[in-house]
């Protein structure tokens, strides 16, 4: 077996397996957290060795780093046992490490199109792992999910597409610069479903969207691990943990919302007007306002409404649910083909989508007051509308179990975390008006 592994050109540094006999004490496995591609052999039972195999066509790759985003040990010393159910357990862990560094011995890097093997302890990587590829002083991160390393098995990053890798400076902040682009595999399944919307094609697309979502969660978990190592205050770690928990808890709901937006075939009937297609909504041909209702728009309905000069394009605030509904009814009365109303919480989230990590918005006292609705128009929601996050909260027609109305999006004086689309525990008394709560409108076809 040892000759077989040498023939595979597998090499490691101080990776050994000892006492590999199957007995009541199990098998002691020792895996180094730093490995190279030198052919210095393997000492132990080859049937137990396991890890990740990678094969990269790129030239100049000098280092690969592997990390479990759930903090599971990848390297160290452990007693590997198999229970009566046949499941592998690692006991008596010593010198555990969640990160393994694999280095090319040649300064020119790894040989392109050659198989390399990173040895690890048996490990559940279903929640995700980071594979960082270092090339020419830059690094690109790949995140894998839904995999596990079992004794005697080497898994591979099967959906890694090298042309989709984005290389950055090693110290670049880990943020979502924009909504992730649709990868080639998802696009293929999307076109397949559009052409033939069978249940099998639907499930295939949903499954792929689930994988993409879990990869985003894996990135967040990896950031959490990074903060646990480097953050100066626990508050920052706690904040990121809350984001990860919310994403995990609401996984199925968020994937379903994304799917509904994905498959909605409608096109904007009039791209120049102030209404955006509300993709995924159950209402008949629903659209949502491009921006919150402004002072000038509300004053057209209520001529007695007064506001400061020069603030025509500011969001109208201080409006109760009753006042907002009266405005919607006025729009309906003047349009025989449409009905206007407040969005419910689900519709608002469908329109806004997930708030990008680096979104520009009027929050956290950035402006110390309200601004015009288009002051941060570069930040657009999933529907293409603006001013979803920050500036002013927005009423929805949804209520909690105490009869209070759910508001969304945060305001100029809100913490950044409170502006997230998924945050659903902010409510107000609908009979009151508030200086930082406005609203936008949904328009649907009359039946």
The residue extents of the domains of the chain are 2-164, 184-262, 267-447
pLDDT value at position 179? 54
pLDDT at 433: 97
The better pLDDT of the pair 179, 190 is held by: 190
Q: In what order do the strands lie in the sheet with 116-120?
A: 116-120, 50-54, 154-155
Residue 21, pLDDT score:
35
- How far are the Cα atoms of 30, 54, 71, 155, 285 from residue 118, in angstroms, in the given order? 13, 8, 18, 10, 53
Within 334-444, residue ranges assigned H as helices are: 345-352
Cβ–Cβ under 8 Å, residues 134 and 65? yes
Q: Stretch 294-299: mean pLDDT, rounded?
A: 98
Cβ within 8 Å of residue 284, ≥6 positions away: 444, 445, 447
Highest mean pLDDT out of 18-27, 75-84, 139-148, 164-173? 139-148
Q: What is the mean pLDDT of residues 283-294?
A: 93
> Cα(261)–Cα(281) distance, rounded to whole angstroms?
8
What would the mean pLDDT of 83-87 be, rounded to a whole number? 73
Please tell me which residue, 95 or 90, carries the higher pLDDT value: 95
267-447, what's its fold?
A: 3.90.1580
pTM, two decimal places? 0.76
């Amino acid at each position: 077996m040892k000759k077989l592994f040498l023939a595979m050109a597998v090499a490691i540094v101080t990776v050994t397996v000892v006492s590999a006999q199957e007995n009541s004490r199990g098998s002691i496995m020792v895996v180094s957290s730093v490995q190279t591609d030198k052919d210095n052999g393997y000492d132990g039972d080859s049937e137990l060795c396991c890890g990740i195999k990678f094969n990269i066509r790129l030239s100049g790759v000098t280092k690969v780093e592997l990390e479990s985003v759930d903090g599971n040990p990848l390297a160290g010393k452990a007693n590997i046992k198999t229970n009566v159910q046949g499941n592998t357990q690692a006991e008596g862990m010593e010198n555990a490490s969640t990160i393994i560094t694999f280095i090319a011995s040649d300064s020119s890097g790894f040989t392109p199109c050659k198989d390399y093997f990173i040895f690890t302890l048996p490990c559940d990587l279903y929640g995700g792992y980071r594979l960082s590829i270092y090339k020419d002083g830059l690094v690109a991160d790949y995140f894998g999910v839904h995999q596990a390393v079992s004794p005697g098995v080497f898994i591979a990053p099967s959906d890694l597409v090298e042309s989709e890798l984005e290389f950055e400076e090693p110290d670049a902040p880990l943020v979502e610069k924009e909504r992730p682009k649709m990868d080639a595999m998802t696009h293929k399944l999307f076109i397949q479903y559009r052409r033939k919307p069978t249940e099998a094609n639907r499930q295939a697309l949903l499954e792929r969207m689930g994988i993409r979502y879990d990869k985003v969660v894996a990135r967040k978990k990896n950031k959490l691990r990074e903060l646990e190592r480097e953050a100066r205050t626990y508050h920052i770690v706690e904040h990121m943990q809350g984001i990860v928990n919310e994403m995990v808890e609401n996984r199925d709901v968020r994937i379903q919302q994304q799917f509904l937006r994905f498959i909605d075939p409608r096109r904007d009937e009039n791209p120049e007007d102030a209404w955006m297609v509300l993709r995924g909504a159950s209402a008949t041909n629903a659209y949502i306002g491009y921006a919150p209702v402004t002072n000038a728009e509300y004053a057209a309905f209520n001529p007695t409404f007064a506001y400061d000069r020069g603030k025509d394009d500011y969001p109208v605030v201080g409006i109760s649910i009753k006042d907002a509904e009266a405005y919607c009814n006025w729009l309906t009365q003047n349009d025989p083909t449409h009905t206007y109303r407040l969005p419910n919480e689900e519709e608002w989230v469908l329109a806004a989508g997930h708030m990008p990590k680096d979104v520009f918005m009027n929050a956290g006292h950035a402006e110390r007051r309200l601004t015009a609705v288009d002051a941060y128009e570069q930040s657009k929601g999933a529907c293409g509308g603006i001013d979803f996050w920050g500036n002013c909260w927005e009423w929805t027609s949804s209520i909690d179990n105490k009869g209070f109305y759910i508001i969304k999006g945060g305001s100029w004086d809100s913490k950044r975390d409170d502006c997230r689309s998924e945050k659903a525990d902010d409510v107000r008394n609908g009979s009151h008006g508030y200086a930082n709560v406005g609203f936008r409108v949904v328009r649907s076809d009359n039946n």
